[in-house]
Amino acid sequence: MAEQKAPGFETRAIHAGAAPDPTTGARVTPIYQTTSYVFDDVDHAASLFNLQTYGYIYSRLTNPTVSVLEERVANLEGGRGAVACASGHAAQMLAFFAFMEPGDEFLASTKLYGGSITQFGRSFKKFGWNVIFVDPDDPQNFKRALTPKCKAIFVESLANPGGVVTDLEAIAAIAKEAGIPLIVDNTMASPYLCRPIEWGATLVIHSTTKFLSGHGNSMGGIVVDSGKFDWSSSPKFRGLTDPEPAYHGLKFHETFGDLAFTVAGHALGLRDLGAAMAPLNAFLTITGIETLPLRMERHVANSEKVARFLEQHPAVGWVSYAGLESSPYRKLAKKYLPKGAGSVFTFGLKGGYEAGVKLVENVEIFSHLANIGDTRSLIIHPASTTHRQLSDEQKLAAGAGPDVVRVSIGLETADDLIADLDQALKKAA
């Protein structure tokens, strides 16, 4: 027999994790709209509760529709397993919850989604989890900022909103030397454009709300575990190595090996944080992923056209898109994002804050809203919206100064998008 070639990304985007429904033959994964699952008998129930057998108890922990999504995204990212959550922020919370204790620290890039800066800097403080923000443009900054209490490094592969590409391989080497996991938010790239585990990431996070669901119709998040981190390598990761009293002293890493994070993410993280993904949202996200490769190709092609148009427009001071030859991140983009630098980028208006406000108020095809990764083209002025809670200094550090406009280029006809921006730029001038 001829040697079986591993299926390609497009094939896996449609088939990974799914099979026809065993009872009905339904070809599409059904929405298992149920809270709970009948036990065969008392022994079966006991083995489920003891984590000795695989199966379903209650949809806060696991649900068959959500499980298909988890397997599919884990497969596309090259991970061992995944935990789906109610939102991207819930996924971030769950990732850190696995090993952080009060008084612990972690390093995070300054170039992050505005909501993540707020979540890490303010709400995480209430748990005693302290973030140290680091400029990612020089990877050595992470090495310099490390402290003995640091338990992780968190970056975005392609940063929201500035068109910043992170040097994943260099930062992964620093995390590895320090014996701590590298967590990469891969929301803006999607696994079609970038696969952080191949560069050394331990955990990969997505807000599935964005490109994975892809149609602006369902909230969700996911943590993919590479399965490659040795949680027992130091006493730092007690949540995964110490006996767990709620499961008769079971030790997750010792018992489940490279599935330790995935099992604990459900059995402890979802059980106690409660931020489970709804089965309907999992269904919509599975459906979205089936066209992810096609959509990302068009997102990238449209973005390159729009970015080149903006770059030569007299009202525009600069365009920060890693897909342009002029970008300082061009070299990193070629390495980490060989199929394109995504479809979210920023540009600066010579008319500053006032021009930004007028532009978003005058577009017709673009929608003025706070999301990215939709089929529709979206526009926002971060300084007056998503990043308004940050200090002026944090705004600049996050690439969200007063003149900055962020677009998420959709799948419409590129010429229509260019014409729409052109007429709105005239009104904003």
Ligand X SMILES: *Cc1c(COP(=O)(O)O)cnc(C)c1O
Footprint on this chain of ligand X (rule: CB under 6 A): 87-89, 113, 115-116, 156, 160, 185, 187-188, 207, 209-210, 219, 221, 372
Q: How far is the CB of 188 from ligand X (least distance, A)?
A: 5
**Rounded-to-integer distance, Cα 178 and Cα 229, Å:** 12
Q: How far is the CB of 145 from ligand X (least distance, A)?
A: 21
DSSP output for 103-132: T-EEEEESSS-HHHHHIIIIIGGGGT-EEE
Q: How far is the CB of 358 from ligand X (least distance, A)?
A: 25
> Three-class SS string for 7-72?
CCHHHHHHHCCCCCCCCCCCCCCCCCCCCECCCCCHHHHHHHHCCCCCCCCECCCCCHHHHHHHHH
- Name the token pair of 125: 């403080």
Q: How far is the CB of 63 from ligand X (least distance, A)?
A: 18
Query: Sign of the C-alpha dihedral, residues 118, 119, 120, 125?
Result: positive
The torsion defined by the Cα of 361, 362, 366 and 367, in degrees rounded to 10, comes to 30
| C-beta separation of 414 from 422 below 8 A | no
Cβ-based nearer residue to ligand X, 119 or 241: 119
Q: In what helix (H) or strand (E) does residue 311 lie, and over which residues does it extend?
A: helix 292-311
Cβ-based nearer residue to ligand X, 207 or 343: 207
Cβ-based nearer residue to ligand X, 241 or 303: 303
Cβ-based nearer residue to ligand X, 74 or 219: 219
Q: How far is the CB of 5 from ligand X (least distance, A)?
A: 33
| C-beta separation of 395 from 401 below 8 A | yes
Cβ-based nearer residue to ligand X, 195 or 236: 195
Using Cβ positions, the residue closest to ligand X within the complex turns out to be 88
Cβ-based nearer residue to ligand X, 160 or 241: 160
Cβ-based nearer residue to ligand X, 76 or 86: 86
Q: How far is the CB of 295 from ligand X (least distance, A)?
A: 16
Buried b (16+ CB within 10 A) or exposed e, 13-36: beebbbeeeeeeeeeebebbeeee
Tally of residues, the chain: 429
State the amino acid at position 406 in one-letter form: R
Cβ-based nearer residue to ligand X, 200 or 216: 216
Q: How far is the CB of 276 from ligand X (least distance, A)?
A: 14
Q: Which residue in 75, 79, 65, 97 sits closest to 7, CA to CA?
A: 75
DSSP code, position 210: T
Cβ-based nearer residue to ligand X, 221 or 340: 221
Q: How far is CA 92 from CA 177, 247, 282, 410, in A?
A: 23, 24, 18, 26
Q: How far is the CB of 75 from ligand X (least distance, A)?
A: 21
Q: Which residue in 32, 71, 39 sits closest to 55, CA to CA?
A: 39
Q: How far is the CB of 309 from ligand X (least distance, A)?
A: 24
